[in-house]
């Protein structure tokens, strides 16, 4: 494999810093100096050979894209957007379309979090175009295509462009039923449930939620990372059953969610807000059942716990 191919593969795997060694071992002396100073002085690459410059900048920006992932503060989200979209441009220069699409999706998600919906749509649509072309030649790209279709579906749901949301939900589901992982399929089924619940097709929402539940229960038995989405799903099903006046089933699902989030909160306090939300759902259920004393009790629990969570956020010292 050539140097470009090796570096691209390391970026693809999420380990761009490993590419520094590959570049250093194969580059001319002038490039080695720029490589050594890459993170201390990235401007130092400005005047080197264009091909090496693109390769070094690919390592630099992809590293910061991965580094910024999963953080929810405004600065990190902004860094994720800039670094991901710059990486996508570099991938286009280097003619690596699948990696370009990958970083477009990452950047698009960050842009969505920044509430720039129109720009996010353009970014996702470009990724869709690339992946549609790639998957027509090689079906191994279908899971990535489904990933961006899923993002577009969520975006259109948020924008209340329901016809487009339904189109992309169904397209993503079709692909994920054939070639996606169980977790990816569960995600699309959940999103379909949310969509049909929002447009008040509750029986259809129930169907998708229940199919997602079957998968997530199985996954959570061997991997606790699936407990949070399962708990959220339990609450969603509970809400649908409340709206359908199937109160006994609604309560059963909210109690299941409470068990999940109580367990998670014992390990990490960040889940306490989900416990509080579940108390609120149970309060709403009892209110609809005209059990007003019980409703008030659970509303009060929800309010107190939310206040406790907010108080802890306020008192938590900032990291240095």
Average pLDDT estimate for 282-311: 95
Say if domain 223-320 classifies as CATH 1.25.40.10: yes
CA dist., res. 272 & res. 310, Å (int)? 10
Q: What percent of the chain has pLDDT over 70?
A: 97
Span 118-163, pLDDT tens digits: 999 999 999 999 999 999 999 999 999 999 999 999 999 999 999 9
Which runs of consecutive H residues, i.e. helices, occur in 244-291?
Answer: 247-267, 272-288
Look up residue 216 and give its DSSP letter.
Answer: H
Query: Is residue 130 within 8 Å of 144, Cβ to Cβ?
Result: no
Q: How confident is the model at residue 46 (pLDDT cuts 50, 70, 90)?
A: confident
Span 224-282, pLDDT tens digits: 999 999 999 999 999 999 999 999 999 999 999 999 999 999 999 999 999 999 999 99
* Residues whose CB is less than 8 angstroms from the CB of residue 153 and which lie 6 or more positions away in sequence, other chains included: 165, 168, 169, 172, 191, 195
CA dist., res. 265 & res. 278, Å (int)? 13
3-state secondary structure 129-161: HHHHHHHHHCHHHHHHHHHHHHHHHHHHHHCCC
Nearest to 124 by CA among 140, 143, 101: 101
CA dist., res. 231 & res. 91, Å (int)? 38
CA 196 to chain centre: 20
Q: Is the pLDDT of residue 33 over 90?
A: no
C-alpha distances (whole Å) from 229 to each of 59, 216, 247 are 33, 8, 22
Domain 116-214, second-level architecture? Alpha Horseshoe (1.25)
Query: Is residue 211 within 8 Å of 187, Cβ to Cβ?
Result: no
pLDDT of 315 reads: 56
Q: Is the pLDDT of residue 316 over 70?
A: no
C-alpha distances (whole Å) from 209 to each of 131, 162, 193, 224, 226 are 28, 19, 5, 20, 15
Task: Kindly calculate the radius of gyration of the chain based on its CA atoms and give it in whole angstroms.
Answer: 23
User: Residue 134 corresponds to which tokens in the numbers above?
Assistant: 């790639």
CA 245 to chain centre: 32
pLDDT of 125 reads: 98
pLDDT of 317 reads: 46
CA dist., res. 119 & res. 116, Å (int)? 6
Question: How long, in residues, is the chain?
Answer: 320
CA dist., res. 202 & res. 15, Å (int)? 44
Nearest to 41 by CA among 65, 19, 62, 60: 60
**pTM (2 d.p.):** 0.89
Provide the angle, in degrees to the nearest 10, between the axes of the packed helices 3-12 and 97-113: 40
pLDDT of 189 reads: 97
User: Residue 168 corresponds to which tokens in the numbers above?
Assistant: 């992309």
CA dist., res. 117 & res. 154, Å (int)? 11
User: Residue 263 corresponds to which tokens in the numbers above?
Assistant: 């367990």
The count of other CB atoms within 10 Å of the CB of residue 75 is: 9
Average pLDDT estimate for 278-293: 98
User: Among all chains, which residue has been given the structure tokens 């924008």?
Assistant: 159
Query: Is residue 200 within 8 Å of 159, Cβ to Cβ?
Result: no
Q: Could you tell me where in the chain the CATH 1.25.40.10 domains are found?
A: 116-214, 223-320
């Amino acid at each position: 494999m050539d140097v470009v191919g090796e570096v691209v593969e390391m970026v693809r795997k999420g380990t761009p810093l490993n590419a520094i060694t590959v570049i250093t071992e194969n580059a001319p002396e002038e490039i080695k100096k720029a490589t050594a100073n890459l993170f201390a002085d990235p401007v130092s690459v400005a005047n080197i050979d264009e091909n090496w410059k693109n390769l070094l900048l690919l390592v630099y920006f992809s590293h910061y894209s991965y580094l910024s992932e999963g953080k929810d503060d405004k600065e990190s989200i902004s860094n994720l957007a800039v670094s991901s979209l710059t990486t996508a441009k570099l991938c286009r220069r280097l003619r690596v379309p699948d990696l370009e699409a990958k970083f477009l999706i990452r950047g698009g998600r960050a842009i969505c979090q920044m509430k720039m919906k129109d720009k996010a749509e353009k970014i996702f649509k470009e990724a869709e175009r690339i992946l549609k072309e790639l998957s027509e030649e090689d079906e191994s790209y279908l899971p990535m295509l489904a990933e961006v279709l899923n993002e577009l579906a969520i975006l259109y749901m948020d924008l209340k462009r329901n016809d487009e949301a339904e189109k992309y939900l169904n397209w993503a589901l079709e692909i994920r039923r054939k070639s996606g992982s169980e977790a990816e399929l569960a995600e699309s089924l959940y999103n379909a449930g949310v969509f049909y619940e929002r447009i008040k097709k509750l029986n259809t929402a129930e169907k998708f939620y229940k199919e997602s539940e079957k998968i997530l229960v199985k996954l959570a038995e061997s991997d606790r990372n699936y407990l949070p989405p399962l708990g959220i799903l339990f609450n969603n099903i509970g809400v649908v059953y409340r709206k359908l006046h199937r109160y006994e089933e609604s309560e059963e699902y909210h109690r299941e969610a409470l068990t999940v989030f109580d367990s998670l909160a014992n390990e990490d306090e960040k889940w306490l807000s989900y416990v509080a939300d579940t108390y609120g759902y149970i309060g709403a259920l009892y209110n609809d059942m005209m059990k007003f004393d019980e409703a008030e009790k659970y509303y009060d629990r929800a309010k107190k716990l939310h206040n406790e969570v907010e108080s802890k956020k306020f008192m938590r010292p900032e990291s240095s």
